[in-house]
């Protein structure tokens, strides 16, 4: 049965674990290079412009931001989860210390979150896989987390270029055809239903009763 998002609200921004919001809801986090489109994707997924702050300048998101999102199934069943917008990695204009601090903090978020069910790793469809993307991908897997790669900004390329780029990203990440990389555009929009279905599958709403 189909699920749809019916409401989304900003809950909290955290710079330390004690500021994480309370709640039993499962959590889905979004990670990727600065400017890859994490905050825009959250807004388009929730159909709520301005929910997460976006910017043409990289390095906009500096805190771990929590959004509570309510889902409704065709038969009326409701469930909620947290979407978590993280600071981007790899922004060269930050000082080395600030980059390291953000990285340490992001790593400590991944290690301390008990509710995390899925990490969506965003990759820019126009760019070759960067060494840092691969490092982050492997680190998350080594931590035992489930990672779903999503290629963003597909509106910038032709259809055939998109499928070639998806193949190259899959090869670069070393993943099999059974784990498809989802293709997304916050502008078109495209890929929204597929990503929603992936989230619902990962959080397993049937096993929770949080409303
Ligand atoms: N063409 C196109 N542009 C996009 C898309 N998604 C985001 N953008 C643009 O990319 C820029 C960065 O978007 P953000 O959503 O702020 O990126 P972010 O990953 O949250 O960036 P940081 O918070 O700095 O890490 C903005 O100018 C967006 O308008 C997309 O699907 N297509
Ligand atoms: Mg952002």
31, 36, 40, 106, best to mutate for ligand 1 pocket (most atoms within 8 Å of CB): 40
Domain ranges of the chain: 3-205
The predicted-structure confidence for 84-114, as pLDDT tens digits, reads as follows 999 888 877 778 888 887 788 888 899 988 8
Region of 47 (left: φ > 0; alpha: ψ -120 to 50; beta: rest) is left
3-205 classified as CATH 2.60.40.10? no
| Residue 62: band (very low, low, confident or very high) from pLDDT cuts 50, 70, 90 | confident
- 112 CA → ligand 1 middle, Å: 27
- Nearest atom, ligand 1, residue 85 CA: 20
Catalogue the E-assigned strands of the chain.
3-14, 27-32, 64-73, 78-85, 116-124, 147-152, 182-183
pLDDT at 99: 80
106 lines ligand 1 (CB under 6 A): no
Give the ligand whose atoms come closest to the C-alpha of residue 58: 1
In sequence order, what are the residues at sequence separation of 6 or more whose Cβ sits closer than 8 angstroms to the Cβ of residue 207? Answer: none
Cα-based distances in Å from 49 to 43, 96, 139, 154, 157:
5, 32, 32, 19, 24
Token pair belonging to 84:
């978590």
pLDDT at 22: 92
The predicted-structure confidence for 12-24, as pLDDT tens digits, reads as follows 999 888 899 999 8
Nearest residue (by CA) to ligand 1, atom 32, is: 153
Quote the pTM value: 0.95
185 lines ligand 1 (CB under 6 A): yes
Give the ligand whose atoms come closest to the C-alpha of residue 57: 1
Cα-based distances in Å from 36 to 89, 95, 115, 128, 187:
10, 20, 25, 13, 13
- 19 CA → ligand 2 middle, Å: 19
Nearest residue (by CA) to ligand 1, atom 24, is: 59
């Amino acid at each position: 049965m189909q699920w749809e998002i019916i409401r989304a609200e900003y809950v909290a921004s955290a710079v330390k674990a004690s500021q994480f919001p309370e709640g039993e809801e499962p959590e889905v986090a979004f990670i990727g290079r600065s400017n890859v489109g994490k905050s825009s994707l959250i807004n388009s997924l929730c159909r709520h412009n301005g929910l997460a702050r976006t910017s043409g300048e990289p390095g906009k998101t500096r805190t771990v931001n929590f959004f509570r999102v309510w889902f409704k199934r065709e038969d009326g069943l409701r469930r909620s989860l947290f979407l978590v917008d993280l600071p981007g990695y790899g922004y060269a204009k930050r000082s080395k210390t600030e980059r390291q601090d953000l990285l340490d903090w992001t790593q400590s978020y991944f290690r301390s979150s008990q509710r995390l069910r899925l990490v969506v790793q965003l990759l820019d469809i126009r760019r070759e896989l960067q060494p840092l993307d691969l490092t982050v991908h492997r680190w998350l897997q080594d931590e035992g987390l489930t990672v779903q790669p999503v290629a963003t900004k597909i509106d910038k390329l032709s259809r055939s270029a998109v499928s070639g780029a998806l193949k190259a990203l899959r090869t670069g990440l070393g993943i099999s055809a059974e784990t498809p990389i989802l293709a997304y555009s916050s502008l078109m929009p495209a890929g929204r239903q597929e990503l929603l279905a992936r989230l619902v599958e990962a959080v397993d709403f049937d096993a929770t009763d949080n409303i």
